[in-house]
Chains A and B, each alone.
Chain A
């Protein structure tokens, strides 16, 4: 259940249900982690949430850092002093740390340093599907890839040992279906290390922690390279790499991580148990080459199953070149499986059936019934929450852009709840345009607002390029939240001032890192372990960065917010508006916000549709009459401000 007592309990042998992320956290706890640092990112956030919930009790340091790069360095710094440290992040988070990631390996670490990454095949919560196992390959460090929650726990625990054995960081690569799935996990004992942090500049190697100190980067790279044989030897003996080869099967399956769980189910379904060889992989890099070679020599064909891109398959092909050139290898490179989206038991079973020459029966009658039944399934579009303050910010932005935004404005988005401003809801069919001129598109609901959106902090940089390109067809705007501001926007704000960019940067400040589950950040007033913390204000930082136009507005006040944005759009320079109100969900939880009742008088409704263009899920519009879903409405009053006829008005 993830209860603090259970996660922190020294109860070896106990079997409990753990979410993959809780299992990773438990693995770190069992290994005696001393420092853990992270930035929230789905599907990895619960690793740190779990660690932070028990850190004060168990006496280790846990923090939400301002971004993944800082978190990585905090954890790495601890590992240099010989204690055990962990940093966790989502797939895209690893991109932020690549500089340090690629460099700290030149010399490695003293205490165990584990990098736990939650990949997101199928991009359930992410802007890409990147397979971060390739980063481990790139950085020449081992990667452990669990097949279930038990392995997630056990591998994380072991990763610290392996890290100390090799004196290198070790990656644990999870995926959404491990991190956000739960399974039965048998707990192990909690190691009590009580290590004293020590520092030795020349530990086992001159200038160990200084990549420029002699021996320099090339020699340190040579040292890193010399660790590979040791890593290869180590993974050959791990329980998570296992070859099942009996008799003379024609087909062998090589399956890594979660792919091994799907492959086992597929083998069971196709009744191939005992008829195929099975190499289960727990370390996609380095591979247990000895086992791979033994399999390749024994079979005629190999089917590779892995979640993400074909990292294992590529290496197996390379090994086959020198081992058994005739073996046929299929997987994501061959097209048997598609390296886009996620795999599952059905996909693997279908591909395996094809590879093994098994025909699966189709049930046409059922397919017809399915088609009929699916017509009943109304969509449930994801929206911002009822009474979300972002609805007000977006409403005001739309009004101001219409008045002062020129012909074709550009609104650059960013990552957070407000990214839904670019989701284009309600299954709108948009046709691609091939215009050679700027094209104006209407903003119907807030979900049509954003024109660009890629990564954390990306929008405020893009807007500057759009300006310097000489774009004159309309206003240039960027939006970002408070957590994103601290994470990635500050250098871009300084750049805008220094390089004389113009445009409006609208900061949606709700004081929480809301989208990933309401983690605290420097705007919140508390830290990861619930201690009171200093509140940093976006406007203070903007001022220190030299921004000349700064205004603070309350997004529930639509009129004032619209007026401020309009003024900023007319400002001849770089302007920042901080649209500030605490996240409505948090305000309700903490009982600091009690809204008023909205009174509905449908006789006054002229079916103008303005209320639903606000985009609040509590507004209804049945038979083109404005109304309120009383179960969802929290009385933020924004729709009553929007309604021009008083059909929706503020009550007591």
Chain B
């Protein structure tokens, strides 16, 4: 594969940007080039955030093209489908957390939140595959709910879909999370890794 296109989607505050930087840093250490394009609105917290990660020997532009994402890693399911609609490649993978961060629009009765079954069905119709894991519960199991993004990174590594070495990725996680949370984050990584490796 000459290049890999990944989108990490979530809600501001979930750690999607950090996760994307960890993947890109790992790729750079592995000798590849990397680009991370971030898209987010004006809201600082609670807004939709998507980081486009492009890895390869010959990548230039910061954004994944339409229908160009090999993997969409969704820390939040609605953000997963939001990005899958425009970006998931045929044969691509939506790897999503089950736990919703319900938008104000839904909370105030102005819109409806889609079911996981509907999301899965839509992804399959788009010619993709969906893997769904309860990363938020796994993060609680790891001892810190804020490690959810690292659960998802572990799960991503478990699929083998991103051309970075698992050991380097773990090392980069270790170096870039707050020192007090290293153990919880490494445990989170293993839990996420196991979740997708089994399936």
Q: Which residues of A contact B (CB under 8 A)?
A: 1, 15-17, 124-125, 147-148, 177-178, 180-184, 258, 260-262, 264-265, 268-269, 344-346, 349, 366, 369-370, 372-374, 376-383, 385-386, 420, 426, 514-515, 517, 585, 612, 617, 619-624, 629, 632
Q: Are A181 and B38 in contact, CB atoms less than 8 angstroms apart?
A: yes
11 contacts between A and B (CB under 8 A): A17-B24, A183-B34, A262-B60, A262-B61, A264-B61, A372-B122, A376-B81, A377-B114, A385-B43, A385-B44, A385-B45
Cβ–Cβ contact B66 & A346, under 8 A? yes
Beyond A261-B60, A620-B107, A629-B107, is A382–B66 a contact (Cβ under 8 Å)? no
| A369 CB, nearest partner CB in chain B, Å | 4
The reply to whether A380 and B78 form a contact with Cβ atoms under 8 Å apart is yes
Are A184 and B78 neighbours in the complex by a CB distance under 8 Å? no
The reply to whether B11 and A370 contact each other, CB–CB distance below 8 Å, is no
- The 4 A-B residue pairs with the shortest CB-CB distance, nearest first, are A181-B62, A382-B43, A373-B122, A261-B60
Partner of B41, one of A16, A184, A382, A619: A382
> Which B residue's beta carbon lies closest to that of A16?
B28
A374–B82 CA distance with the chains assembled, in angstroms: 7
Interface centre among A378, A514, A621 (most CB of B within 10 A): A378
- B109 near A377: Cβ-Cβ < 8 Å: no
A374 and B105 contacting across the interface, CB-CB below 8 Å:
no
B34 touches A184 (CB 8 A): yes
CA distance A370 to B90 in the complex (A): 12
Query: How far, in whole Å, are A515 and B58 apart by their CA atoms in the complex?
Result: 36
Q: Which residues from B are CB-within-8-Å of A517? A: 44
* A181-B37, A182-B24 known; A619-B85 Cβ under 8 A: no
With A378-B111, A378-B114 known, 7 other A-B pairs at CB within 8 A are A17-B34, A265-B61, A344-B63, A346-B65, A373-B81, A381-B104, A585-B44
Given contacts A17-B28, A370-B126, contact A264 B60 (CB under 8 A): yes
Please give the number of chain B residues whose Cβ is less than 8 angstroms from any Cβ of chain A in the complex. 56
With contacts A376-B122, A426-B105, A617-B107 taken as known, whether A382 is within 8 angstroms of B42 at the C-beta atoms is yes
Mark out the residues of chain B between 26 and 61 whose CB falls within 8 Å of any chain A CB in the assembled complex: 28, 33-38, 41-48, 58, 60-61
Could you say which of B33, B41, B108 contacts A621, with CB atoms under 8 Å apart? B108
B46 in complex: contacting residue of A147, A183, A372, A632, CB < 8 Å = A632
With the chains together, A382 CA to B190 CA distance in Å?
34
**How distant is the Cα of A260 from the Cα of B60 in the complex, in angstroms?**
9
Closest-by-CB residue of A relative to B123 is A373
Question: Which residue in chain A gives the minimum CB-CB distance to B90?
Answer: A366
Chain B contacts with A in 112-135, Cβ cutoff 8 A: 112-114, 118-119, 122-123, 125-127
A interface, over-half SS: mixed
Complex interface bits, B82-114 against A, C-beta within 8 A gives 1, otherwise 0: 101110001000000000001111111111111
Are B110 and A380 neighbours in the complex by a CB distance under 8 Å?
Answer: no
- The interface residues of chain B lying within 8 Å CB-to-CB of A125 are 42
Closest A residue, CB atoms, query B11:
A380
Which residues from chain A contact B84 at a C-beta distance below 8 Å?
A: 373
How many angstroms from the CA of A381 to the CA of B48 in the assembled complex?
A: 9
| In contact, B34 and A382 (Cβ under 8 angstroms) | no
Q: Chain B nearest CB: distance from A40 CB in Å?
A: 13
> Do A380 and B125 touch (CB < 8 A)?
no
Contact A378 B60 (CB under 8 A): no
Residues on B with beta carbons closer than 8 Å to the beta carbon of A180:
37-38
Option from A177, A264, A366 in Cβ contact (under 8 Å) with B62: A177
- Chain B residues lying within 8 Å of A377, measured Cβ to Cβ, are 78, 81-82, 85, 114
In-complex Cβ contact of B25 among A1, A178, A380, A619 (8 A): A1
Chain B 59-73 per-residue mask, 1 if CB under 8 angstroms from chain A, else 0:
011110111000000
How far, in angstroms, from A417 to B126 measured CA to CA in the complex? Answer: 38
Q: CA–CA, A623 to B11, complex, Å?
A: 25
Given known pairs A17-B24, A366-B127, the reply for A515 and B42 (CB within 8 Å) is yes
- Distance between Cα atoms of A623 and B109 in the complex (Å): 7
| CB pair A15 B103 closer than 8 Å | no
Contact A376 B114 (CB under 8 A): yes
B residues near A515, Cβ cutoff 8 Å:
42, 44
Which one of A258, A349, A366, A378 lies within 8 Å of B103 (CB-CB)?
A: A378
Chain A residues whose CB sits within 8 angstroms of the CB of B58 once the complex forms:
268
From A349, A378, A386, A632, give the contact of B78 (CB < 8 A): A378
Contact (Cβ within 8 A) B61 A261: yes
Shortest B97–chain A CB gap in Å is 15
**Choice from A264, A366, A426 contacting B110 with Cβ under 8 Å:** A426
Check A16/B107 contact, CB under 8 A, given A183-B34, A344-B61, A345-B65: no
Interface string of B171-197 (1 = CB under 8 A from A): 000001000000000000000000000
| A620 contacts B108, C-beta separation under 8 Å | yes
Residues of chain B contacted by A183 (CB below 8 angstroms): 33-36, 62
Contact B41 A366 (CB under 8 A): no
In the complex, the answer to whether A1 meets B176 with C-beta atoms within 8 Å is yes
Bound form: Cα–Cα A379–B107 in Å: 11
The answer to the question of B21 belonging to the interface, with a C-beta cut-off of 8 Å to chain A, is: yes
Q: Which residue of B lies closest to A612 (CB)?
A: B108
| Chain A residues whose C-beta falls within 8 Å of the C-beta of B113 in the assembled complex | 378
Tell me the nearest residue of chain B to A371, going by C-beta. B85
In the complex, are the beta carbons of B85 and A370 less than 8 A apart?
Answer: yes
Task: Report Cα–Cα, A395/B71, bound state, in Å.
Answer: 44
Complex Cα distance, B43 from A514, in Å, reads: 11
List the A side residues contacting B104 at CB < 8 Å. Answer: 380-381, 383, 617
Question: Within the complex, what minimum Cβ distance (angstroms) separates B8 from chain A?
Answer: 13
Nearest chain A residue, comparing its CB with the CB of B119: A376
A369 and B127 form a contact (CB under 8 A):
yes
Contacts of A617 in B (CB 8 A): 46, 104, 107
A366 and B66 alpha carbons, distance in the complex (Å): 12
Contact of A383 among B36, B37, B46 (CB under 8 A): B46
Return B85 CB to nearest CB of chain A, in Å: 5
Question: Distance in Å from the Cβ of A425 to the closest Cβ of chain B?
Answer: 8
User: With A184-B33, A184-B34 known to touch, is A381 a contact of B105 (CB < 8 Å)?
Assistant: yes
Judging by beta carbons under 8 Å apart, are A379 and B105 in contact? yes
Q: How far is the CB of A450 from chain B (nearest CB, A)?
A: 14
Considering the chains assembled together, what is the distance between the CA atoms of A370 and B126 in angstroms? Answer: 7
A344 surroundings in chain B (CB, below 8 A): 61, 63, 65
Task: Let me know if B176 and A385 touch, CB within 8 A.
Answer: no
Whether the Cβ atoms of A373 and B61 lie closer than 8 Å is no
Question: Given the complex of chains A and B, what is the CA–CA distance between A36 and B152 in angstroms?
Answer: 40
The distance from the CB of A563 to the nearest CB of chain B, in whole angstroms, is 28
Contacts of A349 in B (CB 8 A): 65
CB-CB < 8 A to B119: which residues of A?
376
Q: How far is the CB of B29 from chain A (nearest CB, A)?
A: 8
Binary A-proximity of B2-25 (CB < 8 A = 1, otherwise 0): 000000000100000000010011
